[in-house]
């Protein structure tokens, strides 16, 4: 059962976790910890799992919320500045990190859980995503212009988030969708691509539509479908206008 409040929660992971950097496996352990922060869990490791030879230039963190000692991660000629934080004497607020080490996810060359590569970060074991077929009638307007009208959406239910509606592109005004360079990533769904909506030559609403070209397996049903940023648009479900809040 998930703890009621996951803030600062620490629990053991039974998975083999490896971190690759500069051609070396700098961590290879079955003793990793999942530590929950503001944006979900991250992997931390006992200090014994990361050799001191990979750490250089230790200094107290400049971040007032971080009482650890920050090091550069160095292997051969490759260096990631400030990539490692060691909590050997943490403040009272961070006692749950006592004796642990954190490596910035983006600083490493690759992360693996068992033999599967991680691309965004570890998944929350108490987080669930379900995609359900629906026959609800969905209409979406922007400034009175209908941009989508569908009776065959898929509804994505994700723990802690509002329901997202994914719509076939054939039910959308594709002539109004302009590709954007913006991208986001989710460990459950994968990498999202975005569209702007060009209502008139003078009016464009930026990054209010997204879609997944190759979603992760558990969300494969939303492949190629588009979702609209409901909080910024007018959405009607079976004729009833929805609240933006």
pTM: 0.81
List the domain boundaries for the chain. 10-118, 129-241
pLDDT in tens, 111-131: 999 999 998 899 999 989 999
Cα–Cα distance, 170 to 192 (Å, whole number): 19
Q: Which residues of the chain have pLDDT under 50?
A: 1, 3
Position 37 scores a pLDDT of: 87
Position 1 scores a pLDDT of: 44
Position 64 scores a pLDDT of: 67
Position 6 scores a pLDDT of: 77
Position 81 scores a pLDDT of: 96
Q: Does domain 10-118 have CATH number 2.170.150.40?
A: yes
Whether 10-118 shares its CATH topology with 129-241 is answered yes
State in words which class domain 129-241 has. mainly beta
Position 5 scores a pLDDT of: 64
């Amino acid at each position: 059962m998930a703890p009621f409040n996951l803030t600062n929660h620490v629990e053991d992971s039974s998975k083999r976790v490896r971190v690759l950097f500069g051609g070396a496996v700098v961590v290879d352990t079955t003793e990793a910890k999942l530590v929950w922060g503001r944006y979900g869990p991250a992997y931390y490791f006992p200090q014994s799992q990361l050799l001191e030879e990979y750490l250089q230039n230790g200094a107290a963190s400049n971040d007032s919320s971080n009482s650890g000692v920050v090091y550069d991660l160095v292997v051969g000629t490759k260096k990631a500045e400030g990539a490692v934080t060691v909590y050997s004497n943490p403040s009272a607020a961070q006692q749950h990190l006592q004796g642990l080490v954190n490596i910035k996810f983006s600083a490493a060359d690759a992360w693996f859980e068992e033999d599967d590569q991680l691309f965004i970060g570890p998944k929350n074991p108490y987080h669930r995503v379900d995609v359900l077929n629906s026959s609800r009638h969905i209409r979406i307007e922007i400034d009175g212009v209908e941009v989508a009208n569908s009776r065959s959406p898929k509804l994505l239910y994700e723990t802690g988030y509002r329901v997202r509606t994914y719509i076939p592109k054939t039910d959308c005004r594709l002539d109004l969708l302009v590709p954007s360079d913006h991208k986001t990533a989710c460990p459950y769904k994968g990498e999202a691509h975005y569209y702007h909506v060009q209502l008139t030559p003078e009016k464009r609403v930026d990054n209010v539509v997204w879609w997944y070209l190759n979603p992760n397996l558990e969300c494969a049903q939303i492949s190629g479908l588009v979702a609209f940023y409901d909080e910024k648009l007018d959405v009607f479900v079976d004729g009833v206008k929805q609240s933006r809040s």
